[in-house]
Amino acid sequence: MRLTQGDSPLLDSLLHTNPLLIRIATNPQYELQIIYTQINRDAQNRPTFTPHTYHLNPRQYFNPASLVKLPVVALSLEKLNDLHNPRVTRRTIMATGTAYRCQTPVPFAAPADSDRTATIGNYIKRMLLVSDNIAYNRLYEFLGQRPLNQRLQELGYSDVRITRRFALCDTAANRHTNPISFHTPQGDTLYKQPAQYNPITYTSPLGRVLKGRAHQAGGRIIPTPYDFTTANHLPLPAITTLLQSILFPESVPATQRLRLTPTDYAFLRRYLHATPHESAFRLYTPGRYFDAYKKYLYYGRNPDLPHKSALRIYNIVGMSHGHLADVAYFADSLHQSEFLLSAVLYVNQNGIINDGTYEYESIGQPFLAQLGRQIQQYEAQRPRQFHPDLSIFFAPEPIR
């Protein structure tokens, strides 16, 4: 298969060295998109970023699934800062009320500063460690649909839409978000946010988006494509840039930087790379949540692969409706190398959306594992004028 316009010869060459990779990469049914970003440092350790892309297509819709959790996490911390209330932090007890259909309450409950307490910090940990959907819903509601999307527009992500909870809520219900309040451990109210409503109906910037030859609804197969027109929309370049802006804030223009503190950035770094039980978050002990639970690139979600302490992967993943994605930064202290790698592919051979029959384990995850390993091996040997100082990514992490 010939390179498409904009494809990187280097990335194409790396894909061709592995039969599994090139078999998937050259088959259009998998709708593969890749962004591989080389990072080079100068004598002062300042990074420059050189992207290499393969089949990157802004007109090719994919369901971002849990990738949308990264902007929601970052903007939730930013909103806390914007409240300018020193008593309302990521550790403050949060209560969620109801004001419209399809809303779920989370009543006030003490004690504070426990792993089970409803707080912004604990919701973020649950989202980043195991991609928890209920935690995402709570922070989507905290932000409100319209302020969330307006802030993304301000940051330059004009083609991003985050419009849905991860729940069976219709478009209208997702425009309504819950009342929120924050409390002391004794129950005193520190801040109240009324229920919010977005009068705007967001649709995909691609126009009408239909996928699949059929879809399942109510236990029946409907012989028409699934309509993603009002679904979440988060292109691969946008989520890649957002991850870069969190890990390397000074590398993006000032207008794209989040209003976060150094402690916020350290908190995000901690939970973007930590494995569930490595995090010491007491809800997640070894067992169901193994080390590779959400590290598709390189590990492929294989529970039997040993976790490499010299390799830290800071990432966010998505898996839904046959789309499988991972957006990651690799820091390798053994080989003193680093790079960004983002990839998404579509594994839905029967063409039916929402039937739960996808080739995640047989095709998608093995492909992403091989892709991450291929790039990591190349980067480990790639000559550099200056080796990176990765100490910020391997420093002791007391952040809770």
Domain definitions of the chain by residue range: 9-394
On whether the CB atoms of residues 213 and 352 are closer than 8 A, the answer is yes
- Cα atoms in the Cβ-side hemisphere of radius 13 Å centred on 86: 0
Question: ∠10-327-351 over CA atoms, to 5°?
Answer: 90
Alpha carbon distance 230, 174 (integer Å): 11
Tell me the backbone φ, ψ of residue 131, rounded to 5 degrees: 60, 50
Nearest to 198 by CA among 149, 139, 135: 149
Q: What is the pLDDT of residue 87?
A: 97
Bridge partners of 34, per DSSP, are 54, 343
Nearest to 54 by CA among 398, 375, 387: 375
Amino acid letter, 241? T
pLDDT tens-digit series, residues 119-151: 999 999 999 999 999 999 999 999 999 999 999
Evaluate the omega torsion of the peptide bond into residue 396 and state whether it is cis, within 30 degrees of 0: no
Q: What is the pLDDT of residue 73?
A: 98
Alpha carbon distance 177, 252 (integer Å): 31
Alpha carbon distance 344, 308 (integer Å): 24
pLDDT along the chain (400 residues), means of 10: 67 95 97 98 97 95 98 98 97 97 95 87 97 98 98 97 96 97 96 97 94 94 96 98 98 97 96 90 80 94 86 97 98 97 98 96 97 98 96 81
Q: In the CATH hierarchy, which top-level class contains the domain 9-394?
A: alpha beta
Q: What is the pLDDT of residue 111?
A: 79
* Matching residue, tokens 């004028």: 385
Tell me the backbone φ, ψ of residue 26, rounded to 5 degrees: -95, 5
Q: What is the pLDDT of residue 278?
A: 84
pLDDT tens-digit series, residues 192-218: 999 999 999 999 999 999 999 999 998
